[in-house]
Amino acid sequence: MRIRTTIGRLLSASHTEIMSIVLLSQLLLPFTANQASAHERRNVIVDTDVALDDVRAILLLLRASQFEVVGIVTSDGACSPQIGARNVQCVLSPVGRDDIPIGYGDTLGQPAPPWRPMSEALGWAGIQPARSDDSISLALDLLARLLTSSGERVTYVCLGPMTNLASLIEADTAASELISEVWYSGTLVDQASESWNTLRDTAAARAVYRSALTVRAIELPDSELIRFDSSMFEHIADMETESARLITKLHSGERTGMLVRNGHFRACDESVVLGMIEPSLISFRRADPLLPHFESTGFNSDSGRALYLTILSQGVDNMLSPRNPTVLDHFPADPSELQGDIKPFVTDIIARYGREEWNCAILTNEFHQHLGIYSIVGVKMGIIARELLRADHGSLRVVSHAGSVPPMSCLNDGLQVSTGASLGHGAIRVVEDSTRVEAEFSSNNRSLRLKLNDDVVARIRSDIRDAIAKYGDLTPEYFAEVRRLALQYWLELDRATIFEERTE
């Protein structure tokens, strides 16, 4: 038997912002974003001019468990299409994704932007692609092949000019109709201030907007963009994933390092990908009453930054097969769908702990009939148990030592929902004469015991005693205070750091 206190507590205080992120990635390093089965992931095609923020956005997207990048095409922008395609190879090789096909688009015959020499040469020295240049296709040929052979509709992520997409619409209407929606890093056409991507090929943008495609155009003011500054860079440099190492390498040169230190970079294209991964981060308004065109109206940069770091370090949901709704259309995650006191917490909780913990906690609180502290702890305990045992939802057997006396027994409701080991399935057993915030989990001949750290238990007990002393036991005022406390604990307690583990 091996006994260990969750390692996240042992990190130095100077790294507290990403403490749990980095340690969870170390604990679960064998897990990758590509483990989710294909039917749970949405196919994505990326169109890029391979600027530095495009590269960072692509690396984020490759780590997102909800999406499968099935192809990348390049356009004429920060890089020329041919050199951009080779640089994409240099991005994919270090992260083990040489399987993704690449295509290059047409040149526009326009002057190159002044930053092209830096974009084309930026940090690529020493990175050798694993395949030859003759494996790169023409963008239009690749797009038609990917769309007609996929068997399902595809999300199109355009991080550069819309040249390739406009050419596809003109040449192959049937193939373009297989695009479910377009996420575009840029503005609509004919705006007072058009984005660089739109101005680079306005005719192409106009052609796309004349089509019936659903387009989400994302252009954010500087004040709402995540700053890719020295603080951000230092956090990423401390991570151990290949994606983080590659981003570190690309920002460590003399020129790029100076730009990072001077606060030059913004996470423009990354905002598109972060909005795809977590829709509650970004708000839209319909720009045309007749066409399905939407433009961004706001972005939660603080929560976006937290999600950015989490995805790069491991990805909070990359280790978990998601729980799919049975009768619901979706699990609510837009703040407008939640009650008033929950709204301010939604994006921060999801950004820190992922959609799977969020979804299970939402269901638990409805099932439990009030927002409780121990039921939230039960959710967090069940989720981390699934991560550590590599267990799908519904595959665990659980023994709870929380007993059957509230409030500690509330842990059992969170355990049932988060693991799928329900009483109805006969997969959970409660030890009646026990009152410990502790549970045993088993799956595939592996077992794990998790116990809530003593300091957290003491804090919860103290808060509950204070609530009873102030409002009385089980009064409406008492439950209101418990709800307030539960929200606070939900946000503050990181499942990667609050449990002592024993594994066999």
Share of the chain above pLDDT 70, in %: 88
pLDDT value of position 500: 93
The whole-number average pLDDT for the span 43-71 is 93
What are the tens digits of pLDDT across the range 102-119? Answer: 999 999 999 999 999 988
Pick the more confident residue, 328 or 317.
328
The contacts of residue 23 (CB under 8 Å, 6+ apart) are 6, 7, 8, 11, 496, 497
pLDDT higher than 60, residue 15: no
Q: Is 14 exposed, middle or buried (0-12, 13-18, 19+ CB in 10 A)?
A: exposed
The contacts of residue 366 (CB under 8 Å, 6+ apart) are none
Residue 458: band (very low, low, confident or very high) from pLDDT cuts 50, 70, 90:
very high
pLDDT value of position 401: 96
Instruction: Write down all domains in the chain, each with its CATH number in brackets.
Output: 39-313 (3.90.245.10), 335-503 (3.30.1330.130)
Q: Which of 467, 452, 489 is nearest to 372 (CA)?
A: 489
pLDDT higher than 70, residue 130: no
CA 477 to chain centre: 37
pLDDT value of position 488: 93
pLDDT value of position 502: 76
If one counts every other C-beta atom within 10 angstroms of the C-beta of residue 9, the result is: 15
pTM exceeding the 0.75 threshold for the entire prediction = no
Mean pLDDT for all residues in the chain: 85
Instruction: Measure the CA–CA gap between 358 and 37, rounded to whole angstroms.
Output: 21
Q: Which of 429, 413, 433 is nearest to 373 (CA)?
A: 413
Radius of gyration of the chain (CA): 24
pLDDT value of position 320: 67
What are the tens digits of pLDDT across the range 343-358? Answer: 888 878 887 788 889 9
Give the angle 119-296-205 at the CA atoms, nearest 5°. Answer: 60
3-state secondary structure 316-355: CCCCCCCCCCCCCCCCCCCHHHCCCCCHHHHHHHHHHHHH
Instruction: Measure the CA–CA gap between 471 and 439, rounded to whole angstroms.
Output: 31
Q: Are 270 and 57 in contact (CB under 8 A)?
A: yes
The whole-number average pLDDT for the span 226-247 is 89
Q: Which of 53, 60, 57 is nearest to 315 (CA)?
A: 60
pLDDT value of position 182: 97
Q: Are 415 and 381 in contact (CB under 8 A)?
A: yes
pLDDT higher than 60, residue 364: yes
What are the tens digits of pLDDT across the range 368-393? Answer: 888 889 999 999 999 999 988 888 88
Residue 230: band (very low, low, confident or very high) from pLDDT cuts 50, 70, 90:
very high
The whole-number average pLDDT for the span 390-398 is 89
Instruction: Measure the CA–CA gap between 64 and 44, rounded to whole angstroms.
Output: 11
pLDDT higher than 90, residue 437: yes
pLDDT higher than 90, residue 499: yes
pLDDT higher than 50, residue 473: yes
Instruction: Measure the CA–CA gap between 1 and 19, rounded to whole angstroms.
Output: 26
Residue 123: band (very low, low, confident or very high) from pLDDT cuts 50, 70, 90:
low
